[in-house]
Structure 1
Amino acid sequence: MSDYIVRATAADSQIRAFAATTRDLVEYARNAHNTSPVATAALGRLLTAGAMMGSMMKGDEDVLTLQIKAGGPLKGITVTADSHGNVKGYVGNPNVVIPANAKGKLDVACAVGPGFLNVIKDMGMKKPYSSQTMLQTCEIAEDLTYYFATSEQVPSAVGLGVLMNKENTVRQAGGFIIQLMPFAEEKVIAALEQKIQNVTSVTAMLDAGNTPEQILENLLGDLGVEFTDTMETRFHCNCSKKRVSRAIISIGKKELQNMIDDGEEIEVNCHFCNTNYKFSVEELEALKKEATR
């Protein structure tokens, strides 16, 4: 498999860890949305995080949504993932172009801007779990680290990265999430903190040929890392003309009649995958017959 997530434990299960390589799915998103390099980097980071966080959920029908609502020129990011490694997402302004930061790198923080991170988990309960935290650095990985610590009370280290080619395609993408369990010993915590401090970047490790397994070996090898399973991950949108038809039907007979009276076909766009669905006047008339109000 090309893109995948590996799950592991370390230090006699005092640590749980996830690592992923996501180049293909981030490139798919870049191509689908025609994103600029900085938009690709921002969206790719959140897609990678969403894929790993989705894999943490247990139920087959569980759905995770990550929303960044912020004031930067990117105009926010939305990512949705399930427990099977499927993830999709989009940015508010895919064409944003801004100067590089002081280190000469894509300025994701400036593109995102100050705002909030919303995490919504729909696990089949009466109400979805929802939590909002303020963005701390707007770099996404650090903001998720803050979310885990404050909203889930799980000390975590999150690393995310997207490396672009000169022709603006995706060269590398991936990430890791390492979490301490409540019963973690002080010596384990200290050893992990020391390892995390020495991390250069996720993309540097991937570009050097490291697999997700090797990334976790580098970070946790001295703590007895044990790999538990591997899961394929991909950009996947479950939209279809049938699903869009149901949405059109829901707007009601009056609105449908107004569309029909215009005498022209309509086009409906899926924000997540940028697919356009066209409906002729005849199709609209058929949908109107199915409307109940």
Structure 2
Amino acid sequence: MSEEGTDAGGAPVGEPPVVVKIGGAKAVDPAGAVDDVADLAADGRRVVVVHGGSTVVDETIERLGMEPEYVESASGVTGRFTDADAMEAFTMAMAGKLNTELTALFREAGVDAVGLSGVDGGLLSGPRKSAVRVVEDGKRKIRRGEHSGTIESVNAELLSGLLDDGYTPVVSPPMEGKENDGGVTPVNADADRAAAAVAGALGADLVLLTDVAGVYADPEDSSTLIESAATPDELAALEEAAEGFMGKKVMAATEALSGGSARVVVADANADDPILAALGGSGTTIERSALGEADGDAEETEAVDA
């Protein structure tokens, strides 16, 4: 029989899982997030961690004697162009280095963490994009040889089984890219959107940790933090305010909410107790009600990055 206030797996009754996305920028210190995940896990809250690592990927590419390449998509989104050589460096950095190091940090903090890439068990899966539409010198072109994809399915059963057994999954791209001939190729996927897909599949709260306090009405003025968006009009204002990398996070938030997440919080990774503070109301909280009746698919982008 379960203890009062918990389910059979020891999780607090009525509380959804939490998916935490830890950014890969140099300015993001994961220490506070690691401690918070340890506290949540000790209290029986189920947590999945998804991480990026664009800075380390760039450094790995450069150490291999190449130059990181970024392109602008036809819809105006900037992302990494990942050819075969860049994909090799990407896999080395993300699944080989960062995922292992972050999993070790969690285990050191007492968290029973399990590191997974999106390829493991078909955790994150979708069709591979071998070509992308880009804009170069004001002209639209098609670049071939790309290794990226858009996540269409999440192996929620795998994650739920690990959570039920008391483990904390630590997930990173690459994802499982399905070829037209039935083959499988590891490909790049945006880590914010990966976290959104996982949160939607689990019906989890999503916390997107970054290097600023949330979404600002004026991106140059931290005093203009938008604390919440609960209506379609408020979401529209949030989307208009979000620029650059923040635009990707707001896009990921709408995808998570459309997929089944109840709320998304964009918050500062370097704040005291960043995850606990975000769940308590700090940062920018986006409620599912902000979607109104328009629960459709979020816009797909042609270029992605972790």
The question of a shared fold, defined as TM-score above 0.5 by the shorter chain, is answered with: no
* TM-score using structure 1 length: 0.31
